[in-house]
A and B are shown apart, each in its own frame.
Chain A
Amino acid sequence: MASKVLQAIYTDDDILMEAVKAIRAKKYHIEEVYTPFPVHGLDKAMGLAETRLAITSFLYGLIGLAISIVMMNFIMIEDWPQNIGGKPSFSFIANMPAFVPIMFELTVFFAAHLMVLTFYLRSKLWPFKEAENPDVRTTDDKFLMEISVNEKNHKELTELVYNSGATEIKLKDN
């Protein structure tokens, strides 16, 4: 019974938060928590590493900015020089104000779309993928906590989870 998980169901996010703190205080490892909505502060309580999505987003934004600059320079200045706003200077820097909205939009576009794609890849999500959550009720109004257990500690842990306010406790093979 080396790889068994204990599944505990909670009905309230505040009770869940307290339970997560109590169980982590006893040095048990919480595998995963499934919630119907984002619970504020849960990631910190579970001790998850901070997300690096913000850094990737910044880098994607820079890529978008660079692409827009190269693109506008080629399209509007080099390939087919345009007379912009009655100022036929044909230089990128002198016409730059006209390109700023496009630079801004492409920065946002790249940052947003690539960040969503990164999030999908990182969380191993793709179309037609089967749902991973062990209980459909977690998409409605229940909160489910998974803790890995072994022969030695499952009794003690069950008691702890019971006392922390779980309404249902199951032991499952992995």
Chain B
Amino acid sequence: MIVGAVGLIYSFIDAPSSVEEVQEMLAAEHHGDVDASQTASAADAAQAKNDHEGSHADHVLTQLKNKPWTAIYTSTLFFFLLALGAFAFYTIQHASQAGWSPVLFRVMEGISQYMLPGGIILFVLFVFSAFNMNQIFIWMDPDIVANDPVIAAKTGYLNVPFFLIRAIIYIGGWVLLSKMIIGNSRKLDNTPDMKLHKKNFKLSAIFLVFFIVTESMMSWDWIMSIDTHWFSTLFGWYVFASMFVAGITAIALVTVYLKKLGYLDFVHSSHIHDLAKYMFAFSIFWTYLWFSQFLLIWYSNIPEEVTYYAARIQDYQLPFFGMLALNFIFPTLILMNSDFKRINWIVIFSGIIILVGHYLNFYVMISPGTVGASWFIGIPEISSILLIAGLFIFVVFNAIGKVNLLPKNNPFLKESKDFH
């Protein structure tokens, strides 16, 4: 039943996007080519006059070629990390032996199922980058490294084979542990065996230790290395806050949606209230980390560091400050009221705002290093969001539709159902 409903949603979302996606790939490449040939021919004419303009046109050409890649990379990474954030939240429930949440386990597990397809797409994109089909990661281009002593000094860590090996370790480790934990949780439905429950407790603890180390390194590899010269010691936490709040928001949205359809009658407003509390709290946590990173760099004003924010404030003013409004001011004001956290449409509304805001956060983290000043949110960005979001919704609801939505035999189930 759910699968049918979801298939419909999926085709709804995905059909226009896949057409558009083709269009996009053509249009964008085309667009890039046309634009580039224009600028290039203009540059050719100008080159006699000025060499500098020629190199600028080359630069813009690379940026425009990067644009569709950046768009698909941003949305792939965003949804993958969203699923990972939801799974981290789920393992925290196991590791802390939480009593309120077992009725929501199936929703969280469903969202986590996206990690496998999402991870595969992400890895394929990395391989494309590794073959220099785009310039998302400029340190992958040997010519640039040869001419840049700062990057050359980093090749011990930032080199293509080691990068791909690390990606395999991260994605493989996360997906493997998620399959084991979710598998145990499913098995618990059939056999009232407390061994499985205890096993999940241990596996979740192992996952969380593995996760917090690899997550931090992942954020350096996949996002921070785009601005290869720049570094921030807070970056891992900052990315974690963003993916965690996005994951919890996704859990809340899916829960409210399924409850509306009548599949989650055992979830009542207190559970929604708690999820909304987490959304509120982690929105503020994200802002805290965002500001902590910004304040120190702004205050000390060291050229190597401050260029990161200078590029964002000059070229990305609207998304840079816009995401602050979406991620901090709106959720704070809307979700502050205790009664509002129990009203479904308010949770949905603020949840959508938070997700858009955190997509923008990832966009602003990635784009300035790849597309630079020639950015705009157009067909490539929107259609790649639609494509990946469609895939995400399809995978998640497919996974949720296959299982019994109320986990059986969990020792905390009674407490969770009676939770008020």
Contact = CB atoms under 8 A, between A and B. Distances in A.
B295 A97 contact: yes
Interface in B285-342: 291, 294-295, 298-301, 336, 338
Interface in B249-308: 291, 294-295, 298-301
B111 to A, nearest CB: 31
Contacts of B295: 97-98, 100-101
A86 B301 contact: yes
Contacts of B301: 85-87
Contacts of B299: 85, 97-98
Nearest to B295: A97
Given A85-B299, A85-B301, A97-B299, A54 B294 contact: no
Q: Chain B contact residues (Cβ within 8 angstroms of A): what range? A: 10 to 19
A87 B299 CA distance: 9
Interface in A77-110: 85-87, 97-98, 100-101
Contacts of A85: 298-301
B217 to A, nearest CB: 29
B338 A97 contact: no
Interface in B334-359: 336, 338
A97 B294 contact: yes
A34 interface: no
Contacts of B298: 85, 97
B211 to A, nearest CB: 30
A101 B291 CA distance: 10
A41 B419 CA distance: 12
B172 to A, nearest CB: 41
Nearest to A44: B420
Interface in A6-63: 41, 54, 58
Q: Which of A41, A86, A97, A98 has the most CB of B within 10 A?
A: A97
Given A58-B336, A97-B298, 16 more contacts: A41-B420, A85-B298, A85-B299, A85-B300, A85-B301, A86-B301, A87-B301, A97-B291, A97-B294, A97-B295, A97-B299, A98-B295, A98-B299, A100-B291, A100-B295, A101-B295
Interface of B: 291, 294-295, 298-301, 336, 338, 420
8 contacts: A54-B338, A85-B299, A97-B295, A97-B298, A98-B295, A100-B291, A100-B295, A101-B295
**Nearest 8 interchain pairs by C-beta:** A85-B299, A97-B298, A97-B295, A86-B301, A85-B301, A98-B299, A100-B291, A97-B294
